[in-house]
Structures are given as C-alpha cells and as structure tokens.
Structure 1
C-alpha cells in the first residue's frame, strides 16, 4: 500500500431506527454537534460541507465532503472527499434487531504536505490518532442520538400553577 493511502473500517451498533441514523449521518453540517474532533462544518449546500477536523495530534485536516450517494432505502451514504484528504467515505446503515448497525468505510490519500512528508514514519501515530477520533465520534453519536430520540418523542406539558409553578406577567411602568 502506498505510504499516504489509508483504509479504515469501523462498526458501531446504535440504539435508534435506521431512518433516524440516516437522517443524522446525512446532515454533514451537524457533525460538530456530536463528533468532538469535527471542529467546524461549513455547509456548502444540502449535499456538501467543508469540514475542519483535529484530534490529539497537532494538525488540522480541512476537506470538502460531497455526498454522491444518499439512498435511505438501501441505507447507504457515500461522500467524495477533496482537500487535505482525497477519497471516499461511506456509511452503511443496517437494521440489526431492535438496534441499527453503522458500518463506516473510508479510503483516502493524504494530501496535506506535512503529513505526506512524514509518510511511513508517522503512519502508526496517524492511525492511532484516527482510531481515537473514531472512538470519540462513536461515543458522541450515542449521546447525540439519545437526546435526538428523546427530543422527538417527548412533548412535555408546560408547568401548571397548581404544581407550584407560577408565571410572572410583566407590568407596564406607571
């Protein structure tokens, strides 16, 4: 394998429907809300965002992700990456009993000049950095989905005065 080519694979079981998982993962602009290492996502349009990522190592990767496949019926999201990373990234979203299995696949060539120069020497550190980022992303998604699900399915009633909650009405100055 060329020194600047990377292939990554992760599988995440999540407690939500495939439809909810697809909705969250297809919204590239929402990634900073749940993935700590995605520091910024600037939405270009409905299918594209410019992402700024930084994990433990002291470098930032900036790239554009553009969906080339968004197929909820097949549970498939695929995006082309251009910038500091060139290649593809995809999610397969599969029903797994009462849960959903997310299969992440990424094949990229590093274009960032500093990382290209370090090549073979830095590869183990870059892979470890990526693995850390994936663990944090998985944890963040679990938390985000729990809140996403709760927010969609709970409609709390406003407090009632008889339960000790009173509402103050501002009065106009006299």
Structure 2
C-alpha cells in the first residue's frame, strides 16, 4: 500500500518587505529553531562544497535535519535540502526522514512592497509505519496538527521580523 500523499499549503501575510523575510527564512545557518516554537535541530547542518559563493549555491549545498514536535505529542524528524533557489523569491526543496516529498516557499510583495505574502506548499508522504496505519482515520488530526504548527511558525516569524532578529526563546 502506497502511503497517502498529504498536499498541504499555508499562506502567511507578513508586515515586512520580501528582502527582510528572505533574510530570515533563507539564512544559510538555518535560524528556524531560534524563532519557530517546537522546531529544533536533529543533527548539525550538513554542507557540501558549493559550486560558488552565491547564497543560492550555498543553500543548495546545505541539508538541515530538523525536529518538529507536533501538538499531538509526536516528533517528526525531517531533512530539508534546497534544490532550487531564486533570491529573494522562491526556494524549492526535497524532504526526507519521517516525511518524504517536496516543498516550495514563494514570497510575493504586497502593499507596494512593504509587506509579503509567503505561500508554502508541502507535498509529502509519511514514512513511519504507525502514521501510515493511522492515516485512514487520523488524517484530519494530522492535517490539523500541521496547520497548528504552521501557525506557530508564522507567529515566530512575525516575532523575529518585529524584533529585527531571528532569535526567540522557546
């Protein structure tokens, strides 16, 4: 049986220009755990030799191993590896670990460039046996837990933008 594909999307409206949002979400040192509640590093960043010193190539040479603690009590370990980077507009990535698939984050200017709409697409299949067994009944709960985690990430990013920093106590 093929695990169910979860096609999840989120849209965040952020009161900052795309360049400011990009500086935080595309940080080559992966600052997400500093501002996203219940997100932590599962392992150190892995970086191969980039083909150039450009931000795009450094990001594409970087793999992040992250833990996300869901509101339902489980933790997902996800590996994120950027495959396409268009500064300051878009990042596409492969995901592996407890969820396998692809994602894309797109930034679009709003309010004459003073604000940003961030669209997040996430197409993944669970790799854990227990999730696949429970999916026929628990898919709505998994989707709700994902939405809650994304709202927490949005609030954390709003905090980081308001404070001009990528650091937040969890």
Select the structure of larger CA radius of gyration: 1
CA deviation vs aligned residue, 1:127-171 (integer Å, no higher than 9, x gap): 11111101111111100111126x9xxxxxxxxxxxxxxxxxxxx
Q: Does 1:116 align with 2:116?
A: no
CA contact (8 A) 1:52 1:63 kept: yes
Secondary structure of 2:70's aligned partner: coil
Report the equivalent of 1:52: 67
The runs of 5 or more residues in structure 1 that have no matched partner are: 152-174
Secondary structure of 1:36's aligned partner: coil
Report the equivalent of 2:31: 30
Report the equivalent of 1:158: none
Report the equivalent of 2:18: 18
TM-score, L = length of structure 2: 0.80
Number of aligned residue pairs: give it.
149
Cα distance between partner residues in 2 of 1:122 and 1:39: 25
CA contact (8 A) 1:3 1:120 kept: no
Deviation (angstroms), 1:3 = 5.7
Q: 2:45 aligns with which of 35, 43, 46?
A: 43
Cα distance between partner residues in 1 of 2:45 and 2:163: 23
Report the equivalent of 2:53: none
Report the equivalent of 2:150: 134
Secondary structure of 1:4's aligned partner: coil
Runs ≥4 residues deviating over 2 A = 39-42
CA contact (8 A) 1:35 1:137 kept: yes
Q: CA RMSD in A?
A: 2.1
Q: 2:115 aligns with which of 83, 99, 121?
A: 99
Report the equivalent of 2:164: 148
Secondary structure of 1:139's aligned partner: helix
TM-score, L = length of structure 1: 0.78
Cα distance between partner residues in 2 of 1:4 and 1:146: 38
Cα distance between partner residues in 2 of 1:86 and 1:23: 26
Deviation (angstroms), 1:10 = 1.1
CA contact (8 A) 2:3 2:126 kept: no
Q: 2:101 aligns with which of 82, 87, 103?
A: 87
